[in-house]
């Protein structure tokens, strides 16, 4: 993914905001890290004093005193390590909490636009990856890297040969770390993109489980999943081999460098330019100096994944910003819905699915949108709800466009029953109440009653408290559709949009649907219903006929049906059969 200047600016803004917001934690981490690195010299100093002072003098009290001080220093160091780890975890949790809403909004917006769940899921995993890296030892290794210079200076102060040897070793390890990080970034980016597609494909396969069993497709789908799995393991294996080989080379070189330091120190002792204590102290210091570089190599995989995820998050937040609530809260819509010269291009499409649609709906009206398949009926339904924005033209509720409303407030004034019914994991009551906290029982019962579902819900094992899984597989298709209808009617919304609301309903369900539409009309609401079935036109007052994305007829129901043959309007053999069976009776409505 190519970075843009706008991404860099947003990165700087986010980084600056987090530094300011979590300045106390950052200060604690930096101060604790400085003290931890300074206390590292205690081990080397202890070794020098033991070899150069204690052993020649054979003083047990001196040795005991030095050992007691060393033990105390190590306890302090352990406490400081715990303090900076806790501060780092607090910072990681805070960054995750601050970014969660923006990332969730961006993931949802991207899924709506691209119609690919994998991209939205990838952003969620990216946030988890960033949190996991921030809470790990990876940032501490990066913070400790500048202290390598301090250790090199100290080694040079002991003798320039020791400093030069350690510097050359550091350069080699730094080159290994750079190459490891570079290779990890390339493979990690490919793996992240592939994993998102693989996860989405697996989800589709699980949703297709019933059909695959019925049609004998399980073995073919298993082979398809196996290919996804093999490709994923190949990428993971490539990344693991890169990290293992380069990381192993780094560790072995670090051990070799310590032996080299001992060799150089031995030569200095032989020449009378250093003491035995300096040899051991230099070996310990060189190991500590190279430890951050070694840790950077070990954490390069997580760093690469977190870095790639962070830039995807930055790009998503820039592309799909979460708008602040409007300072002026508009009252709930109650008057009319106006569509003016509406053009809509569905996500991923090039040509408009709607072209030049204009109509006006008044309180108490119910509009049926009919026409052949791919006429743009569902596109118009989504546009009315603000799911797909207009490419040209506008939709106004009480004179205001969708973006002038607070989305949560406007959503409470809308009801939507999509073609694909999705129920969320929770109780029946929670699903009907749209998971509104402290929802009033009376409102839940009213919505269920309006959908003609109250008695059926009471017949469930625990009534309204019956827990259903994600998707509502425990219920029949008709029950899921009527519970979703109750959810659409919850709270008496002003605009109710129903997309093929009777696709899974029996005769009793059809009757309940018709009565629900009439109730919305009686209380002054507006209903828009997408349908292929002329039998559902009874409760509506107006009909809009779409063909190839254009509004070819619109007006009161009876007038439109007189002008247009229902057999021509219907898009399914079932609808044509109903129209042929009793076209006059089917056109009769419950309202004059």
Query: For 445-450, what is the mean pLDDT?
Result: 92
**Bridge-partner residues for 394, per DSSP?**
340
| pLDDT at site 4 | 55
289-293, 312-316, 497-501 — which one is most confidently predicted on average? 497-501
The residue with tokens 């030095």 is: 66
Q: Exposed, middle or buried by CB within 10 Å (0-12, 13-18, 19+), for 314?
A: buried
Spatial distance between the Cα atoms of 565 and 364, rounded to a whole number of angstroms: 26
* Per-residue CA distances from 579 to 65, 273, 464, 569, 576 (Å): 102, 107, 38, 10, 5
Residue 477 has pLDDT above 70, yes or no: yes
Tell me: the pLDDT tens digits for 350-384?
888 889 999 999 999 999 999 888 888 889 998 99
Tell me: the pLDDT tens digits for 239-284?
677 767 766 776 777 778 777 877 887 888 788 777 777 777 777 7
Least confidently predicted of 80-84, 124-128, 182-186, 478-482: 182-186
Asked whether 520 and 489 are in contact (CB, 8 A), the reply is: yes
Q: Which two tokens stand for residue 329?
A: 């809260």
Query: For 316-326, what is the mean pLDDT?
Result: 72
Dihedral sign, CA of 564, 566, 570, 573?
Answer: negative
* Nearest by Cα to 501 from 542, 452, 444, 458: 452
Query: For 305-324, what is the mean pLDDT?
Result: 77
Beta-sheet strand order (sheet of 354-361)? 354-361, 337-344, 392-397
Residue 330 has pLDDT above 90, yes or no: no
Query: For 161-178, what is the mean pLDDT?
Result: 81
More confident residue, 289 or 102: 102
Residue 580 has pLDDT above 50, yes or no: no
Q: Report CA Rg, the chain.
A: 34
Tell me: the pLDDT tens digits for 171-211?
887 787 777 767 766 666 666 666 666 666 666 666 666 66
Query: For 577-584, what is the mean pLDDT?
Result: 43
Spatial distance between the Cα atoms of 134 and 96, rounded to a whole number of angstroms: 10
Tell me: the pLDDT tens digits for 213-222?
666 666 776 6
The HSE-up count of residue 235 (CA atoms within 13 Å, CB side) is 19
Query: For 525-552, what is the mean pLDDT?
Result: 87
Residue 584 has pLDDT above 50, yes or no: no
* Per-residue CA distances from 443 to 167, 172, 448, 489 (Å): 74, 70, 9, 10
Task: Give the number of other Cβ atoms within 10 Å of residue 180's Cβ.
Answer: 25
């Amino acid at each position: 993914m190519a970075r843009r200047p706008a991404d860099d600016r947003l990165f700087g803004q986010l980084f600056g905001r987090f530094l300011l917001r979590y300045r106390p934690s950052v200060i604690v981490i930096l101060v604790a890290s400085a003290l931890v690195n300074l206390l590292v010299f205690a081990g080397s100093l202890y070794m020098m004093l033991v070899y150069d002072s204690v052993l020649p003098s054979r003083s047990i009290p001196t040795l005991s005193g030095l050992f007691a001080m060393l033990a105390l220093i190590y306890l302090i160091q352990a406490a400081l390590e715990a303090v900076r780890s806790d501060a780092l975890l607090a910072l990681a949790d805070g960054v995750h909490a601050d970014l969660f809403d923006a990332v969730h909004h961006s993931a949802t917006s991207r899924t709506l636009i691209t119609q690919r769940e994998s991209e939205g899921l990838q952003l969620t995993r990216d946030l988890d990856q960033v949190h996991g890296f921030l809470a790990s030892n990876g940032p501490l290794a990066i913070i400790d890297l500048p202290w390598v210079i301090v250790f090199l200076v100290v080694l040079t102060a002991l003798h320039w040969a020791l400093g030069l040897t350690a510097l050359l070793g550091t350069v080699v390890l730094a080159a290994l770390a750079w190459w490891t990080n570079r290779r990890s970034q390339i493979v990690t980016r490919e793996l992240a993109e592939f994993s998102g597609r693989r996860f989405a494909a697996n989800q589709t396969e699980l949703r297709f489980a019933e059909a695959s069993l019925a049609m004998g497709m399980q073995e073919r789908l298993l082979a398809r999943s196996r290919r996804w799995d093999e490709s994923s393991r190949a990428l993971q294996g490539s990344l693991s081999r890169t990290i293992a080989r380069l990381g192993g080379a780094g560790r072995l070189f670090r051990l070799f460098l310590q032996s080299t330091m001992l060799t150089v120190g031995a030569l200095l002792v032989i020449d009378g330019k250093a003491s035995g204590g300096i040899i051991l102290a230099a070996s310990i210091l060189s190991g500590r100096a190279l430890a951050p570089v070694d840790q950077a190599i070990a954490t390069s995989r997580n760093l690469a994944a977190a870095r790639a995820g962070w830039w995807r998050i930055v790009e998503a937040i820039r592309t799909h910003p979460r708008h602040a609530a409007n300072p002026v809260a508009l009252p709930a819509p109650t008057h009319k819905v106006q569509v003016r010269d509406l053009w809509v291009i569905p996500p991923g499409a090039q040509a408009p699915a709607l072209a030049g649609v204009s109509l006006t709906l008044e309180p108490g009206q119910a509009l049926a949108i009919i026409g052949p398949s791919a006429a743009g009926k569902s596109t118009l339904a989504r546009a009315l709800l603000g799911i797909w924005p207009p490419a040209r033209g506008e939709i106004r509720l009480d004179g205001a466009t969708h973006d002038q409303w607070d989305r949560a407030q406007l959503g409470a004034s809308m009801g939507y029953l999509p073609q694909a019914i999705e129920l969320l994991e929770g109780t029946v009551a929670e699903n009907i109440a749209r998971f509104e906290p402290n929802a009033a029982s009376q409102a839940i019962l009213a919505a269920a009653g309006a959908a003609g579902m109250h008695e059926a819900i009471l017949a469930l094992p625990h009534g309204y408290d019956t827990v259903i899984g994600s998707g509502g597989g425990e219920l029949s298709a008709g029950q899921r559709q009527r519970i979703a209808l109750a959810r659409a009617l919850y709270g008496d919304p002003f605009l109710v949009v129903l997309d093929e609301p009777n696709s899974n309903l029996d005769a009793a369900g059809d009757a309940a649907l018709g009565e629900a539409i009439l109730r919305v009309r009686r209380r002054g609401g507006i209903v828009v219903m997408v349908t292929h079935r002329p039998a559902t036109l009874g409760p509506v007052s107006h009909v809009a006929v779409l063909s190839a994305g254009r509004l070819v007829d619109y007006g009161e129901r009876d007038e439109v049906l007189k002008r247009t043959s229902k057999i021509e309007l219907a898009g399914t053999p079932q609808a044509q059969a109903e129209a042929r069976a009793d076209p006059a009776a089917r056109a009769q409505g419950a309202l004059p």
